[in-house]
Amino acid sequence: MEAPELDFLFYPRSVAVIGASNVPGKVGNAIMRSITLKYEGRVYAVNVRGGEIEVNGRKFQVYRSVKEIPDEIDVAVIAVPAKFVPDVIDECGEKGVKGAVVISAGFKEAGRAELEEELVRRARKWGIRVVGPNCLGVTNLENGFDCNFNPPERQARPPTGKIAFMSQSGAFGAAILDWAANHKIGMSKFISLGNMADLDESDFMAYLGEDPKTGVITGYIEGVKDGRKFFNTAREVTLRKPVIVLKSGRTEAGAKAAASHTGSLAGSYAIYRAAFTQAGVLEAKSMRQLFNYAKALAMQKPAKGNRVAIVTNGGGAGVMMSDGLLERGMKLAELSEETRERFRRDIEEGRLPEHMSYRNPIDVIGDAPSSRYERAMRYALEDENVDLLVVIALFQSPALDEGIVEAVAKMGEYGKSIVFVAPGGDYPHKMARNIELRGVPVYETVEDGVDAVYALVKYGEWLRENGKL
């Protein structure tokens, strides 16, 4: 499908908050606080009571209607009782507003489908595109446009990055933003889909597929609005960018809960699973797995095959990684005779220790400095039988110096996918941040590392099957 033109929603020049409030704890107050924190566009407060409010040290005249604002308005953020929303949409239409983010709840999810249909009918009359209703808002991490009604001191915002996230659950979306911020995972845009009365997950997927600031598209969905539209959109978009979905409502009980949550129909999980596979969508089974997949694909090229080499200074971790990879359908690379000969020669000539193992996993032993790691990584990456490299570093060893950071960075010259695993506490975390600044994703556990490899391999397979890699 052709991507809808939605830049006005993420890059508005002017925004009206309808239902703005001076009262802490009110949704209209929280939206004003979020939107005036970093956004540099023009912000207008609207409330039928009029007057003046002060937010984040700034005073705002309160207009009684959006029609009174002496300026063009790109986006209206609506937080008034549901029964008033259709009339507010009409006022926005008369004003020439392009998009409405309807925070208000009390529509289809509350058994009032007719009110939601009326909202859509009036929005279409004026050509207004609607996000929601019953949503948390949208956030553009790039320019600071943020109409999320969870205030910053309650819910952190992540740094700017390549991962976009859309969610049918506002609460889950809030948790994702908090989690991403805590783990320093960069995001481009966040969309709370709500009831999807107008714009749905497929519309935003198509838009994000064309968005130069987004490298990976992720989402939490309970059910899609139009199955055929979703499938066709995903099949096109995944040939350009990875799409990762966390699908809930996989059980009968979960499907019933989804219906009462956002009014979505979860449908048969088996059908969804088949559609994801046929459209090239990666399905995650947990929030952590979703971001394990996304981080790897945001930072590394897809793998050209499933043959994995492992370099580790801990034998047990190498065994665990081997088990995990094989259980998920990957292969341990069979190192070539030439590569094995290079290791043998270095051991005989004293450049490598006799007690290390150069089978795959390549165990450089607990006393390995960064120079030994670098030699082993090079030999593995220069082997034509290796598609992807996993590096496991137990930084608790005093022998492993900080030169490992630059050593790993140099490996990018080979153009092969690399995943780094660094279990432990504060010091490993510090080293992990430094390595990630060089473009290599780092994971805290072997299991997380297996997820990363799986994502790089599976997305690479999809691209190769379709002649894109």
What does the H/E/C string look like for 210-251? HCCCCCEEEEEECCCCCHHHHHHHHHHHCCCCCEEEEECCCC
Q: d(Cα 238, Cα 217) in Å, to the nearest integer? A: 9
Determine the pLDDT at residue 417: 98
Name which CATH class applies to 7-297.
Answer: alpha beta
Query: What would the two tokens of residue 178 be?
Result: 């908090």
From the CA atom positions of the chain, what is the Rg in Å?
25
Residue 305: count other Cβ atoms within 10 Å of its Cβ: 18
Angle (nearest 5°) at CA 42 between 40 and 47: 130
Angle (nearest 5°) at CA 47 between 30 and 95: 110
Determine the pLDDT at residue 107: 97
Distances 53 to 63, 215, 294 between C-alpha atoms, Å: 11, 39, 41
Q: What is the pLDDT of residues 24-66, one digit of tens each?
A: 999 999 999 999 999 999 999 999 999 999 999 999 999 999 9
Domain ranges of the chain: 7-297, 301-466
Sign of the alpha-carbon dihedral angle for 172, 173, 179, 185:
positive
Nearest of 214, 174, 157 to residue 34 by alpha carbon: 157
Q: d(Cα 408, Cα 419) in Å, to the nearest integer? A: 10
Looking at the DSSP bridge assignments, the partners of residue 93 are none
Q: d(Cα 439, Cα 424) in Å, to the nearest integer? A: 21
pLDDT under 50 in the chain at which residues? 254, 258, 261-262, 265-266
| Domain 301-466 in the same topology as domain 7-297 | yes
Query: What would the two tokens of residue 106 be?
Result: 């009390």
Looking at the DSSP bridge assignments, the partners of residue 435 are none
Determine the pLDDT at residue 261: 46
Determine the pLDDT at residue 126: 98
Q: d(Cα 250, Cα 273) in Å, to the nearest integer? A: 10
Determine the pLDDT at residue 257: 55
Which H or E element spans position 311? strand 307-312
Determine the pLDDT at residue 342: 98
Q: d(Cα 35, Cα 151) in Å, to the nearest integer? A: 10
Sign of the alpha-carbon dihedral angle for 90, 92, 95, 97:
negative
Q: d(Cα 99, Cα 418) in Å, to the nearest integer? A: 42
Angle of helix 287-299 relative to helix 170-182, nearest 10 degrees, comes to 50
Residue 382, exposed/middle/buried by CB under 10 A (0-12, 13-18, 19+)? middle
Determine the pLDDT at residue 350: 96
Return the CATH superfamily for domain 301-466: Succinyl-CoA synthetase domains (3.40.50.261)
Q: d(Cα 366, Cα 358) in Å, to the nearest integer? A: 14
pTM reported for the whole predicted model: 0.94
DSSP alpha helix (H) spans, 238-305: 252-261, 269-279, 287-299
Q: What is the DSSP string of 329-364?
A: T-EE----HHHHHHHHHHHHTTSS-TT-B-SSSEE-
Q: What is the pLDDT of residues 142-188, one digit of tens each?
A: 999 999 999 888 889 999 999 999 999 988 888 889 989 988 899 99
Half-sphere exposure of 392 (CA within 13 A, CB side): 31
Determine the pLDDT at residue 158: 95
Determine the pLDDT at residue 420: 98
